[in-house]
Every structure is written in C-alpha cells, then in structure tokens.
Amino acid sequence: MSGYRIRPAAGDDARVLADMLVEAVNWNALRARPRVTVLEDPFVARYIAGWMRPGDFGCVAEDHHGTPVGACWARLFPANAPGSGFVAVGVPELTLGVNPQWRAQGVGRALLREIARRGAASGVARLSLSVERANFAQRLYVSEGYVTVASDDRADVMVRALR
C-alpha cells in the first residue's frame, strides 16, 4: 500500500468516523466486539454522536481512490459527561483509528500531526486522549509529544500542549 492524502473531516463523515471508532475500540483483536455492539455502547457512541457538532474537528486519510483509510478527530465533552480522556472543559479529546491493511505505514502518525496542526491553527491550547498502556499507540503518542497526566491500572490519560 502506498499513496494516501489527508483532508479535513466534514459533516458527512459520520460513517467513516464510526468505522474508525470501531477500529480504535477493537485495538486488541483478542477482545474485539461486533461493530453493532461497539456502536450501541453509549460510552463509545458519545465520541461520534451528532457529528459534526460545534467544536468538533478532525481529519480523514484516503487512498488514491478517495476511500477512507483512517481518521483522527477531536471533540469537547462537558465536565458532567466527560470522555475517558477528559482533563478539563475546553480541552478536546481525540480519537484515532486506521484500517488494519493500512497500519504501520505512517498514516496514524500523519493524522496525529495534522490534528495537532489544525487544533493549533484554530486556537486550541491542548489535546487529550485516553489509551490503554498495552497498546503500542501509547508509545506513538509519547513520540508525538503527549504526556501522561493521569493513570489507572490499565490506561493513561495523555495531554499535548499545542502552544
């Protein structure tokens, strides 16, 4: 595989984001759940419900046919209904997923860099996320400047300052 481009996520990308959300949740193939089960889980669905809301922003990687192969997006959550990676009101939490056949080819890192660039350009000061430490993605985030600010026995909440 080679040759992808990254474009901004749009209001009609809800299906693409749902696909990538399922990939993100099912990162551990040994614990993978069916798509419908994943998306029926309200703690998962909150990352895409009503996409695209004010404050949402993201980017989509596409192959040379225009078929989406990955996405990264950021969403604000209120303090009374926080996401897993919530750190403060006004700090968007990101989600990242790449199609299995496109992994380990630089797409994930490129999406992370683009979401940071877009966030900084629109005045976002910090981005947050939640990642299970057993997921190699945790090391990818470290290498892109994310710092662990909270942990439990399984997962880290990480933050990157954009300015």
Ligand X SMILES: CC(C)(COP(=O)(O)OP(=O)(O)OC[C@H]1O[C@@H](n2cnc3c(N)ncnc32)[C@H](O)[C@@H]1OP(=O)(O)O)[C@@H](O)C(=O)NCCC(=O)NCCS
The contact set with ligand X (CB under 6 A) reads 23-24, 27, 96-98, 103-109, 131, 135-137, 140
Minimum distance, C-beta of residue 44 to ligand X, in the bound complex (Å): 12
Q: CB of 100: closest distance to ligand X in angstroms?
A: 8
Nearest to 35 by CA among 49, 63, 15, 12: 15
Sheet with strand 4-8: strands edge to edge: 4-8, 57-63, 68-75, 93-98, 126-132, 155-161, 147-151
Q: Which is nearer to ligand X, 109 or 126 (CB)?
A: 109
Q: Which is nearer to ligand X, 89 or 134 (CB)?
A: 134
Measured in residues, the chain has a length of: 163
CB of 57 to ligand X, least distance (A): 18
Nearer Cβ to ligand X (98/124): 98
Report which of 46, 128, 130 is spatially closest to residue 88, judged by C-alpha positions. 128
DSSP characters over 86-100 = --STT--EEEEEE-G
Minimum CB–partner distance for residue 112 and ligand X (Å): 8
* Closer by beta carbon to ligand X, 30 or else 80: 30
